């Protein structure tokens, strides 16, 4: 079970300024439409990747029916672990270690040797995620923002054509095939966008 204790103020994976710079747009006539596209593209990427990218503080509870070697946090990269409570008892910093890039947490003995987490309730409060574009110290990977920009551009150019048209062919002059996807649950993504996002997708378990 995961509870967000300090939510992010935004989940946008790119900025309006970056989109307008990419598309060489000026003026503010289309800002509302572009902002909506950014929100929709960012949400689609979060769903496809199965994870939240924005930096947030969360409390995650594990109820173990048997000892296990590793706890796998739902959010990563881990920036800071505020507390680990095992069976109601707070652990000292030397009682565990975290792989920040994967979100794996290991239990340690007093001799700094890894051992299994015991069965029972374990509660971990931690901060994880990336500083998003437009904020000081931005840490979001460039390929995630590039994928977002590509989706926004697809939405922008797609609004001026029939969404049911998959291809156009002018014999001997031009042949164009369009991506037919969308922003929503179960929406397909262009292959080049999926390629950028695949390293950042939540691994499947089981």
The pLDDT of residue 70 is above 90 = yes
- pLDDT band of residue 202 (cuts 50, 70, 90) is confident
The pLDDT of residue 182 is above 70 = no
Question: What pLDDT score was predicted for residue 22?
Answer: 93
Which residues contact residue 186 at a Cβ distance below 8 angstroms, ignoring those fewer than 6 apart? Answer: none
Q: Which residue has the higher pLDDT, 24 or 174?
A: 24
Model confidence pLDDT, tens digit, residues 137-164: 999 999 999 999 999 998 888 765 544 4
Question: What pLDDT score was predicted for residue 169?
Answer: 53
What is the share, in percent, of the chain residues with pLDDT greater than 70? 84
The pLDDT of residue 78 is above 90 = yes
Question: Contact 148/41 with Cβ under 8 angstroms?
Answer: yes
Question: Contact 121/61 with Cβ under 8 angstroms?
Answer: yes
CA distances, 115 to each of 5, 85, 88, 106, 139 (Å): 29, 16, 19, 7, 33
Which residues contact residue 61 at a Cβ distance below 8 angstroms, ignoring those fewer than 6 apart? Answer: 1, 2, 3, 121, 122, 123
């Amino acid at each position: 079970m995961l509870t967000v204790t300090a939510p992010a103020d935004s989940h946008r994976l790119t900025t309006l300024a970056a989109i307008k710079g990419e598309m060489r747009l000026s003026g503010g006539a289309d800002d509302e439409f572009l902002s909506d596209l950014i929100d929709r593209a960012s949400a689609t990427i979060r769903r496809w990747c199965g994870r939240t990218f924005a930096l947030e503080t969360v409390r995650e509870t594990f109820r173990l029916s048997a000892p296990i070697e590793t706890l796998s946090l739902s959010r990563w990269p881990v920036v800071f672990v505020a507390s680990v409570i095992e069976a109601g008892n707070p652990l000292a910093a030397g009682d565990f270690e975290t792989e920040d890039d994967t979100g794996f947490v290991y239990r340690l003995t007093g001799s700094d040797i890894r051992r299994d987490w015991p069965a029972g309730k374990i509660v971990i409060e931690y901060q994880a995620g990336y500083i998003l574009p437009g904020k000081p110290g931005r840490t979001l990977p460039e390929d995630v923002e590039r994928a977002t920009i590509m989706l926004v551009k697809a939405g922008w150019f797609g609004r001026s054509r029939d969404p049911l048209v998959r291809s156009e062919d002018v014999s001997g002059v031009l042949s164009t095939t369009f991506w037919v996807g969308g922003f929503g649950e179960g929406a397909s993504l262009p292959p080049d966008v999926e390629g950028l996002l695949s390293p950042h997708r939540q691994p499947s378990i089981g």
